[in-house]
Amino acid sequence: MSSRTKNIETFDEVLALCKSYLSKEESISFITRAYEFAREKHEGQFRKTGEPYIIHLINVAYYLAELQVGPSTIAAGFLHDTIEDCGVKKTELAAAFNEDVATLVEAVSKVSQLSYKTEEEFQAENHRKIFIAMAKDIRVIIIKLADRLHNMRTLYAQPLEKQKKIAKETLEVYAPIAHRLGINTIKSELEDLSLKYLEADKYYYIASLLSQKENERFRTIEVMSTRIETLLKEQNIPFKLSGRVKSIYSIYKKMYLKERRFEEIYDLQALRIITDTDTHCYEILGHIHAAYRPIPGRFKDYIAMPKPNLYQSLHTTLVGDDGNIFEIQIRTKLMDDVAEAGVAAHWRYKENVSYDPAAEQKQIEERLHWFRELVSISNEEEQSSTAKEYMESLRKDIFEANVYILTPKGRVIDLPNGATPLDFAYKIHTEIGHRTIGAVVNGVLVPLSTVLKTGDVVDIRTSKTTAIPNEDWLKIVKTNYARNHIKKALMRYNNQQRREEIIAMGRNILEEHLNNDKALIRQVLKRMDDKKFLQSVNFEDIDTLFVAVANKSTNIGNIVDRALNDEDLKKEKVVTPFAKEKTRERNANKMGVLVPGIDSVAISFSQCCSPIPGDKIVGYISKGQGMKIHRADCPNIKAEEKRLLPVEWDYDYVAEHSTLHYADIQIRARERNGLLVEILNLMSQLKVSVNSVNSYKHDTTFTAIVQLCIQVYDLSHLNEVCTAIHTNVNGIQAVTRFSRN
Ligand code: MN
């Protein structure tokens, strides 16, 4: 990649580079056709620099070939401006080349249309769109990076205002993504060029500082190189040494963002040692540390723990001869390729292996988990949050993630500076985040607000029962990812709580509508909580009905009327309508009992078993008191068979007069407060008069016995009352008739 600084002027240069890694004739002719197509379409167009447009395309294709991408990507590099600048249709490209190339060019055009063409206030929105458009295919990103690199190199030809816009976008969008993809050569150049246009004074100041002592530094490096060369040659380890130029932008960051003096920047003088194997890397490190004093806290092992952009290397800083401070990077050749070309080095085009963009995209998402995150937040955020929030998420959670934390199983999770165990938990899985109750860092239980450091091993303790985040966590978490998920979960939870409140409100409205008549409320509720009934009034469930009642979107009166007039309810007839409607007179003379063969006899009902129409009855002749009517099964008359006369109810008379009769019932129930009151309320609601009440409880069995003497018309009326008690009062065990002794 030494050619970075030179401008490519001919297609032959591109072709030569392509031939260095592409041997198939069809690949070369495909690329050649793309070049010729582009040259023809852009014929007569010129860049602001005065060069023919094709020069731009030749350079873009050349950068792509340097990254050793496949023929389709190089072809798309040549064609990337044909839709935008020459009005070529996607279908035309598909016909002339193939669907893959056409789709690539279309995607790149979409990104181009978004680039630096909007006003300041829409920039966040636009940057988001650019990321979203690029996240779908890694090749689109790489083509855009190559395109942007050439545009930045020729930015001097643009008007001042446009220079600033393009430079700002490059620094905010393209450089971070190049960094995250590990394409460091492009990243560094994009940053330096951006700085040059955005903060020219600082750029040139740093450049002058660098050149002032350039000779001195060069000499120091040379001396150090020789010393190290000698050292390693003795050990018989293969190696290659090179000096490293620190980028102006990285010095700018240290000086202006971290406020260090130029002299305090340690790695101005740096050496890179490239060897063949991982083991040799560590061996070299050992020899160097034996010969020079390393500065504590400056050693970094990115071989054991690669950066999220797959970068691997050993870094150490040491005090060299004459007190000069050096940064040394030790890595293998493969690692060095990755350090320069990043993702592109990993997924270099392989001939004779059929290329599947979807498969590669998937592979990249697997290897670069941040990329998967980019894709996922891009998809998610497309619908929800604002562009500003999206850019914030990207910046914080992805581009600035530089703390590497380990799971107990050794998986590396990258988080931004200041991240806490909660950020870690949410990054592993949203559900784990919600359920977090504690964190063990390096074997010690720590507060959830603990700031994590690179190399920490974090084990999250979760709750099995609750999955609701704590509102205070919003103050603790550092990543937008965690914050957004906490907010969403709390909102869901609050909505749920709110809904429950609304349901309760609807229920209250119903109860008030029914004058807080508990028995009636129970009956109506029972009716309402029935699938068929709910269907008939178009509600999915009773809660939804209550919500509608609370919102006044349905009329409670209508619903209650329908519930009370429901056919099934009528059959149950718990609220006895005729009790309200009919007025009854008690016939004192006739009792509604037929005594065969006897016309007139004084008849009364026995008080021990209180018979009612519907009961089997017998007549008992008592001395001087006429005839007492008993139930046929009354235990008190069992021994008196001789004095019994067969009698029966006069049902015509009963039907006509609807006379009330006393009936004794006994209720056995689970003992609890308010039981008796509830039963009496129910009787009153049923319009049943209660003549006497007797109640007692069995302390050992927690059972209550309530005996009532009530007035009913007949056996079926009594049965209704008994059923009503069963269904309306909680804890009823039995309701039976009983006889007094
Ligand atoms: Mn272009």
Q: Where in the sequence is the domain holding 549, given as residue range(s)?
A: 490-571
Question: Which conformational region is residue 310 in: left (phi greater than 0), alpha (psi within -120 to 50 degrees), or beta?
Answer: left
**645 with 666, same domain?**
no
Distance (angstroms) between ligand 1 centre and the Cα of 80 equals 6
Question: Which conformational region is residue 353 in: left (phi greater than 0), alpha (psi within -120 to 50 degrees), or beta?
Answer: beta
Query: How many Å is the Cα radius of gyration of the chain?
Result: 45
Token pair belonging to 28: 């070369």
The set of residues, in sequence order, having a beta carbon less than 8 Å from that of 172 and lying 6+ positions away, is 127, 391
Task: Note whether 396 and 479 are within 8 A (CB).
Answer: yes
Which residues are in the CB-under-5-Å shell of ion ligand 1? 81, 147
530: in domain: yes
> Long-range CB contacts (< 8 A, 24+ apart) of 301-304?
303/278, 303/331, 303/335
Is residue 84 annotated as part of the catalytic site, yes or no?
yes
**149 with 59, same domain?**
yes
269: in domain: no
**64 with 182, same domain?**
yes
Per DSSP, the residues of 599-668 read S---EEE-TTT---BTB-EEEEEETTTEEEEEETT-GGGTT-GGGEEE-EE-HHHHHHH---EEEEEEEE
Distance (angstroms) between ligand 1 centre and the Cα of 4 equals 17
Distance (angstroms) between ligand 1 centre and the Cα of 394 equals 25
pTM for the complete prediction?
A: 0.57
Distance (angstroms) between ligand 1 centre and the Cα of 81 equals 6
Single-letter code of the amino acid located at 583: T
SS3 126: helix
Distance (angstroms) between ligand 1 centre and the Cα of 428 equals 39
Q: Where are the beta strands (DSSP E) in 281-395?
A: 293-294, 300-301, 314-319, 325-332
**Domain's final residue, options 655, 690, 709:** 655
Is residue 85 annotated as part of the catalytic site, yes or no?
yes
Distance (angstroms) between ligand 1 centre and the Cα of 383 equals 30
**Separation CA 10–CA 546 (nearest Å):** 77
**Separation CA 558–CA 293 (nearest Å):** 89
Read off the pLDDT of residues 276-333 as tens digits, 9 standing for 90 and up.
999 999 999 999 988 888 888 788 888 887 877 788 999 998 887 777 888 899 999 9
**16 with 103, same domain?**
yes
User: The dihedral of CA 91, 92, 95, 101: what is its sign?
Assistant: negative
Question: Domain with 705 in it: what CATH number?
Answer: 3.30.70.260
Q: What is the pLDDT of residue 102?
A: 94
Q: What is the pLDDT of residue 585?
A: 34
Distance (angstroms) between ligand 1 centre and the Cα of 151 equals 7
**Separation CA 659–CA 711 (nearest Å):** 9
**130 with 186, same domain?**
yes
Distance (angstroms) between ligand 1 centre and the Cα of 252 equals 29
Distance (angstroms) between ligand 1 centre and the Cα of 57 equals 7
Count of domains observed in the chain: 4
Phi, psi for 200 (deg, rounded to 5): -55, -40
The residue annotated as part of the active site, out of 13, 51, 85, 199, is 85
**Separation CA 532–CA 530 (nearest Å):** 6
716: in domain: yes
- Residue 602 vs residues 589, 595, 610, 611, 715: alpha-carbon distances, Å: 9, 11, 17, 16, 23
**549 with 616, same domain?**
no
Token pair belonging to 114: 């978004």
Distance (angstroms) between ligand 1 centre and the Cα of 131 equals 17
249: in domain: no
**506 with 633, same domain?**
no
3-state SS, one letter per residue, for 474-508: HHHCCCHHHHHHHHHHHHHHHHHHHHHHHHHHHHH
Per DSSP, the residues of 16-51 read HHHHTT---HHHHHHHHHHHHHHHHHTTT-B-TTSS
**181 with 37, same domain?**
yes
Q: What is the pLDDT of residue 413?
A: 80
Low-confidence ranges of the chain (pLDDT < 70): 1-6, 114-126, 266, 352-353, 355, 365-388, 390, 394-402, 566-590, 597-600, 624, 741
**139 with 157, same domain?**
yes
The residue annotated as part of the active site, out of 84, 360, 400, 529, is 84
Distance (angstroms) between ligand 1 centre and the Cα of 289 equals 48
**511 with 602, same domain?**
no
Q: What is the pLDDT of residue 566?
A: 64
Neighbours of 669 (CB within 10 A): 24
